[in-house]
């Protein structure tokens, strides 16, 4: 199986905020709660919120205005970000399935080899 590393908390928070933007809870032009309130809401540190908003700002989804807060720029870019993330999860799931099938195939081959050895041994005894 593919070894997965857990997603960083700030990425989970970024996805959660992005989902809220896509749902219309935070429409473009609106202000999202401040870091402290978001930290309390998501039960993470303000630093985790800062990292999440930096990530969203880099994606063009929000703009962080010092002294004014976090403002939504684009619901379309938020939807694109969610879709890209969803696509990655789909690819990881398919890779996991392929590895699972390969492992099962290996077990089947080993079992068939064992049965062939038993069959050969039985023929040699007769």
pLDDT tens digits, one per residue of 85-111: 876 666 566 666 766 777 888 899 999
Name the token pair of 66. Answer: 């010092």
CA angle 44, 86, 30 (to 5 degrees): 55
Question: For residue 2, is pLDDT > 70?
Answer: no
* Residue 55 in domain: yes
Domain membership flag for residue 4: no
d(CA 73, CA 94): 33
- Tell me the CATH number at 93: 1.10.10.10
Domain assignment present for residue 87? The answer is: yes
- pLDDT, one tens digit per residue, over 48-92 is 999 999 999 999 999 998 888 899 999 999 999 988 887 666 656
Number of domains forming the structure of the chain: 1
Residue 83 lies in a domain: yes
Query: Which residue range(s) make up the domain with 56?
Result: 9-125
Q: Which is higher by pLDDT, 43 or 91?
A: 43
6 has a pLDDT exceeding 70: no
């Amino acid at each position: 199986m593919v070894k997965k590393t857990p997603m960083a908390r700030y990425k989970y928070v970024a996805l959660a905020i992005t989902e809220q933007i896509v749902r219309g809870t935070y429409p473009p032009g609106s202000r999202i709660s401040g870091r402290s309130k978001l930290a309390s809401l998501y039960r993470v540190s303000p630093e985790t919120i800062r990292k999440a908003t930096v990530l969203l700002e880099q994606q063009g989804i929000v703009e962080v205005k010092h002294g004014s807060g976090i403002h939504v720029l684009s619901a379309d870019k938020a939807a694109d970000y969610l879709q890209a993330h969803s696509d990655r999860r789909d690819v990881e799931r398919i890779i996991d399935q392929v590895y699972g099938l390969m492992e099962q195939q290996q077990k089947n081959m080993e079992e068939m080899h064992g049965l062939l050895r038993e069959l050969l041994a039985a023929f040699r005894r007769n």
